[in-house]
Amino acid sequence: YIEKYQSYNPPQPNRKLSTNTIHPIISIAPCPNQSKSKSRKLRPKWPAPKKNKATNYHLGTLKAKLAKLRSELINGPGGKSAGTKNAERGFDVTKSGDTRIGLVGFPSVGKSTLLTTLTGTRSEAAAYEFTTLTCIPGTMKYKGARIQVLDLPGIIEGAAEGKGRGRQVISTARTCNLILIVLDSAKPLTHKKIIEQELFSFGIRINQVPPNVKIIKKESGGIGYQEMVPQTKGMNSEVCRMVLKEFKISCAEIILREDITVDQFIDVIEGNRAYIPVLYVFNKIDALTIEELDILDQMPNYVPISSQHQWNLEELMEEIWDRCNMMRIYTKPRGQIPDYDEPVILHSERNPTVEEFCNRIHRTLIDQFSHAWVWGKSAKHQPQRCGKEHRLMDEDVVQIVKKAG
């Protein structure tokens, strides 16, 4: 397993390195599983260095090597991504509804009780750990949307390496539009850090967006490097070339359109990262005092609830709605009033158009499309005649007109 190094300090000239040291800050020790000869343990050797150009280049190379080794240790030889034949598959749960959210957390934090409260689906809950041994799906309705909720088994430290069926749990979490990390309010906040590290090790980047970096591989011409904005977090042309060399990329065009770190650049190269929003749900707040709740209130992206007493569930459902970026589009048959009971649910981060709205209803509808009448915030006047490229907004009313004949 891997303990990520934090820093680098050049060795002293007269320092003698042990025979099991391949680098001043990296020592190799056999993994407990002796059958995997490539498994290694990396640990920091010396404290943090002073930052300068020489250490930046060297740290960039080390980060690339560690990323490749971590990928091989977690996903198997060749660094296969989660979900391939070389990695453990997630639970076989059919995706349904308009969006999917997963409940991730340690055992006995109230995930099963929360699923039962939100969806009405019976999930066994008891006073002992690991009550839930498989994925239990449920569906809740909110603002006309059908939201699939997955109650995943509890994970433990080392889940990304396969302990306690952790890889199956996190593989299923990768398929969700939103992850709810359920925490026990009465337990230490170190549990939050442990779960974040397990998700990070499995390639999930929580509450982040993909870096605005373009990598165009080519057959010849060497490495082309362009910066659209100044780089202040350690990236430059030399670091870029050293990282690409570790990934055996000798000819490519690199365009950086935002200020990024070396780790973000490595994520773009590997290309198998999942950028998923995360909401921290602190359960069992009935055991806390007002002063303790005030301390928790300083944390971002969190919602305090009590699933047993059904406290603050309305705020939780509103946060889920906002984080999933869902929007409602109402249909209007010709000569009738709009159907406000069963809206068509689209996701606003994709800036949905009338064409996407038609495909959501039926994939063949766009072939017979003539034009659409739109009422709502996206229309300049009420109604507005629009084509299939018109971009819709939340709670618009759309009437589709088919071609004559």
Cα angle: 92, vertex 97, 98; to 5 degrees: 125
Query: What is the Cα–Cα distance from 325 to 350, expressed in whole angstroms?
Result: 9
| pTM > 0.85 | no
pLDDT, position 18: 40
Percent of the chain with pLDDT strictly greater than 70: 76
On the question of pLDDT at 382 being above 70, the answer is yes
Cα angle: 30, vertex 264, 206; to 5 degrees: 85
On the question of pLDDT at 42 being above 50, the answer is no
Cis peptide before 383 (omega within 30 of 0): yes
On the question of pLDDT at 366 being above 50, the answer is yes
pLDDT tens string 269-281: 988 899 999 999 9
pLDDT, position 295: 87
Q: Average pLDDT, stretch 285-309?
A: 89
pLDDT, position 169: 86
Cα Dmax for the chain: 89
pLDDT, position 132: 65
Give the confidence band of 171 by pLDDT, cuts at 50, 70, 90: confident
pLDDT, position 400: 94
pLDDT, position 57: 63
On the question of pLDDT at 85 being above 90, the answer is no
Residue 196 CB coordination number (10 Å) = 16
